[in-house]
Each structure stands twice: as structure tokens, then as C-alpha cells.
Amino acid sequence: MATSICKNWRVNYSGRWARPSLPEIWQTQRKKPLDLSWLSDAIVAGPERSNTTQVKAAIAGVNKLLKDRRFDDISRIYGVIPPKVLSPEIMLALLRTTFQVKERIPTWYALLTKVRAELDARGLPAKKILVGLI
């Protein structure tokens, strides 16, 4: 009889089969591995001007993470990525793509601050580039 019941189900105190609670289900679900090839391509390209293909790949990569609701992973990425190694186009794409969900990404504002400082350090007009974000 036990083999016909879902493997996550268990016998409760009354001897009946009970569904697992939501936290138990969440713990047993495994996340898909992250595909960060778009990020490594952006880093390898360096801080020089990015082409359209690189920007589109970065936006598609972030959108995939957003679609999968991986806000914690985006936050981790934003927390460790140094804007020095990214082009201004990629920096702006990362911020603008996640602007609507910035409240769910704890490191979004920290990245904005780092990007603004980096743009200023490069002698670029940060206020003009980041219009609408700051």
C-alpha cells in the first residue's frame, strides 16, 4: 500500500496518510543550476563599450533569472560583481532590467551606488546615464 502513495507523503499521528507541508516540499525541490555564461561573457569583454549581442545576452540572462523568480541569486550576483570589469551598457542593462523588482533584490541599491561611482570615476555623466534610476 505504501508504494502507491507519493513518496513525499507520510503517516500522521492518527495513522492516515498526510501530505507534506509546504516547507517540506520547498526543501525537497532542487533549483536548476545557474547559467551565468552571459555574465562571464560580459566580464571577459571588459569595461570597454559592449556590442548589441552582449547587451541582449545580459538582459536575456537576467530575465531568465527573473522568470524563475531567483531573486536571491540575482541579489548574490549583484552583491559580488565589481562594476569596474563591466561596460557602462552592461551596468545599465543590469539595473534597468531589474528596476521593477528592486525591492525584492536587497543588493540592488548597493549596485546602483557602485555603478554611479564607477561611471563618475570613468568621467561619464552618471546622472544623465542613470536618469530614472536615481
Averaged pLDDT score across all residues of the chain: 81
**Contacts of 81-87 spanning 24+ positions with Cβ under 8 A:** 81/39, 81/111, 82/114, 83/111, 83/114, 83/115, 83/117, 83/118, 84/47, 84/118, 85/43, 85/46, 85/47, 86/42, 86/43, 86/47, 87/42, 87/45, 87/46, 87/47, 87/48, 87/49, 87/50, 87/54
Residue identified by cell 564607477 is 118
Q: What is the pLDDT of residue 25?
A: 46
pTM listed for this prediction: 0.73
Domain range annotation of the chain: 1-30, 37-129
For the stretch 83-116, pLDDT in tens is 999 999 999 999 999 999 999 999 999 999 999 9
Residue 34 banded pLDDT, cuts 50, 70, 90: confident
